Structure 1
């Protein structure tokens, strides 16, 4: 007897249409591969708008795709939130990609659980949902009954994850080959870039940030930075971390790593030359920092993106 997997994709206002319909087509293609390999599984996909969600019968999976505009995802309708909560209570797996995580978090079902979203939305998400354990480095987090994916194109990764979960990993890999999509392990931090937060309202810390931006290749000790802010070191450390969400050393590391990424992508300089140009005399030390922040070695980063 063929196992029917029921999937509902929520087409909310300003949802990314290529994701909404791309997911449906991904599962249709998966059905073709499943059939060719004589597995008794079939994905049945329905696209539903929020106001009609409560009219749906129970499904195995509900997917909240990315958004490309508007702010509906930040303040979804009570009808949709009720539907998601009820579906979850009935055993439905709830999934989100990119901004869809905001809708999922509004149900409070992500509270005290690990989740991810697009790295550019991380600050807004953390401010709005302080009870969620946001792991922005992860491209996808499968927590069993809840699955969240990060980047705007992570709906592909989410679809592949579901195919693997409800069929077999080799079905997912065969689908990946057909789509010409990398099905190997990836992390969102491979693709992120560090964009400092400047709109925090602390003018003294902002002055220090501007100084770091201009002089990142120089030796930047805490005492000097605290002096620029006209603060004690202890006060400076507390206020800098509060304003930027990073300790000064972490912040400087990320500035330097981002500069190194830019140089790896746009010049033919060796990593040794780049390390010196961004303020590291110890190349091996900087390589360790680079791998810790990006998740790839400099050589692997250049091979993937250049």
Structure 2
């Protein structure tokens, strides 16, 4: 029997439904493998921080990672606390040891902060929850973050985005260590979509309003009400009582976006809201959010959301 040893790290604040859900998902995968006469089984170990410390000390004394090294280590998502922003040096060292011995390190949602703190994600593609992307990019600018993606498999490092992306990660690992058909059978049994999807399908534009720049905030408040109207950067600068260049610099610093990008994101979010909650035609919605050219609206919508307006309505309407 080919045993795939997987360690799930239950760090402070870790989402228990993800920790136990992953364990149960792999148990179901084992049953399907047995039914399909596939000689593979997942062996799951859940470690809290105290156990990781003991394992790390044991490895240090014995050298290496012991007789039964882990093939996969998973850092779960979390709902509360800030441990993931400042993980213990002991955990980071243990993860580096596992990686050096050939383990695939995986993270879900905020778990990416722990991987990044180890230095392993520098110059590598990764994803995390879209709501954490701004803080992640500021903290770890060397990481090639793409928070549009639900999952990025970069061979030895796998990162998954949202709180429930542990499902996507589990399916990915089952497909990788068994066969894609086993993953599809698992998805059917769990009634989980195994088709490809992206995190940006679920993204909402939630602009920062707590930056402390009142001049920029006044413009944001104006755009929130008048987003459908034609407004230039000079108009926005005039509203802020600042010169064009000063306004641009302060707006980008406060929001992370150029004024034109901000207005575009705001309009697409309003369009998403109407697509989800109304039966208005795409043409009417495009006009409502300030686009006279429906073709241009569709192109911007697809670029932003990864779906056509019709596909978005079919999925979320």
**Which category of TM-score, normalised to the shorter sequence, fits these structures?**
over 0.9
Report the TM-score, using the length of structure 1 for normalisation. 0.97
Instruction: Measure how far apart 1:54 and its partner are.
Output: 4.2
Q: For 1:240 and 1:16, how far apart are their aligned partners in 2?
A: 36
Offset, 1:159: 0.4
Corresponding residue of 1:16: 15
For residue 271 of structure 1, report the CA deviation from its aligned partner. Answer: 1.1
Q: CA RMSD in A?
A: 1.2
Q: Corresponding residue for 1:210?
A: 221
Map of 2:255 onto structure 1: 244
Q: Which residues of 2 match residues 109-128 of structure 1 at below 5 A? A: 109-128=120-139
Query: How far off its partner does 1:161 sit?
Result: 0.4
Q: Deviations over 1:97-118 (max 9, x none)?
A: 0111111111111111111111
The question of whether the paired residues in 2 share the 8 Å contact of 1:98 and 1:150 is answered with yes
1:75 to 80, 86, 111: 86
Task: Give the equivalent residue in structure 2 for 1:40.
Answer: 39
Q: Which runs of 5+ in 2 are unaligned?
A: 56-65
Task: State the alpha-carbon separation in 2 of the partners of residues 234 and 165 from structure 1.
Answer: 51
Give the alignment of 1:203-282 within 5 angstroms. Answer: 203-282=214-293
Give the conservation status (yes or no) of the 8 Å contact 1:51–1:80.
no
Q: Are 2:192 and 1:192 aligned?
A: no
Where do 5+ consecutive residues of structure 1 fail to align? Answer: none
Which of these residues, 84, 92, 101, is aligned with residue 90 of structure 1? 101
Partners of 2:181 and 2:254 lie apart in 1 by: 46
Measure how far apart 1:201 and its partner are.
2.4
User: Distance between the aligned counterparts of 2:198 and 2:133, measured in 1?
Assistant: 15
Q: Partner residue of 2:5?
A: 6
For residues 118-144 of structure 1, what are the alpha-carbon distances to aligned partners after superposition, in whole Å with 9 as ceiling and x for unaligned? 111112212221221111101001111
How much does 1:253 deviate? 0.8
User: Quick check: 1:33–1:175 contact (8 Å CA) kept in 2?
Assistant: yes
Report SS of the residue matched to 1:223: helix
What does residue 178 of structure 1 align with? Answer: 189
Kept after mapping to 2: 8 A contact 1:51/1:79: no
Provide the rounded CA distance (Å) in 2 between the counterparts of 1:237 and 1:68: 35
Q: Deviations over 1:146-205 (max 9, x none)?
A: 000000000000000011111111111111111111111100000110000112222222
TM-score (structure 2 length as normaliser):
0.93
- Which residue does 1:303 correspond to in 2? 314
Q: Deviations over 1:1-35 (max 9, x none)?
A: x2211100001111111100000011111111111
How far 1:235 sits from its partner (Å)? 2.9
Give 1:90 shift: 1.0
SS at match of 1:246: coil
User: In 2, distance between residues paired with 1:167 and 1:298?
Assistant: 36
User: d(CA) in 1 for partners of 2:219 and 2:179?
Assistant: 53
Counterpart residue number, 2:60: none
Give the number of aligned pairs: 305
Matched residue, 2:297: 286
